[in-house]
Amino acid sequence: MAFVLSAERKSILDGLRPRYPNAKALTIPLLHLCQEQEGWCSPEVIDYVAKELGVTGAHVQGVVTFYTSYLKQKPGKRVLWVCRTLSCELMGAKALQEHIESKLCIHAGETTPDGEFTLLKAECLAACGQGPMVQLDDDFFENLTNEKMDKILDDARKKAPKVAGTWSSLYLPEKKE
């Protein structure tokens, strides 16, 4: 089934057009709007963005595969990123990732069979002095140990998934009071 942007997000896109020098420059913001709606950058999203902006599918696919913020497969209810940049690596990120993989019975790039968690590796989550660290949806956890990580995962299973922060809110016009 073909992807179509919601009326609200289409309105945001239309409001963005005058801010950009050409349609191609809208690739990144439009992908964010689409991923926010769809949950990932499906082939249908890539086709939609290419047609909407009058660019090639190869261009859109190139952007999606270059930036790690775009999900290339349908994620679980929660997305868990393990920072694997050098500073976190030196502070035990590899061992932490292996612990998470063992606890969730998956490897990085996979989703748990119950669809609860998708585990991904991040190049940098910008907490170089507080590693190892992870991002669970929109929450950051630093200075982690296996025990702290177990509690984070156990607590997450007990709660309803948070609604992720919305990219579209970044593009809404400011309200005047």
Share of the chain above pLDDT 70, in %: 91
| pTM flag (> 0.85) | no
Q: Please report, for residues 33, 51, 80, the alpha-carbon distance to residue 108 in angstroms, rounded to integers and kept in the order given.
A: 25, 32, 9
pLDDT digits 0-9 by tens, 27-77 = 999 999 999 899 899 999 999 999 999 999 999 999 999 988 899 999 999
pLDDT digits 0-9 by tens, 118-129 = 999 988 888 889
- Residues 86 and 83: their CA atoms lie apart, in Å, by 9
The end-to-end CA distance of the chain, in Å, is: 42
Question: CATH number of the domain at 7-66, out of 3.40.50.1220, 3.40.50.20, 1.10.1200.10, 1.10.10.1590?
Answer: 1.10.10.1590
CATH fold label, 78-158:
Glutaredoxin (3.40.30)
* Token duo for residue 19: 């801010």
- What residues pair up with 136 in beta bridges, in sequence order? 80, 139
**DSSP, res 111:** B
For the chain, which residues make up each domain, given as ranges? Answer: 7-66, 78-158
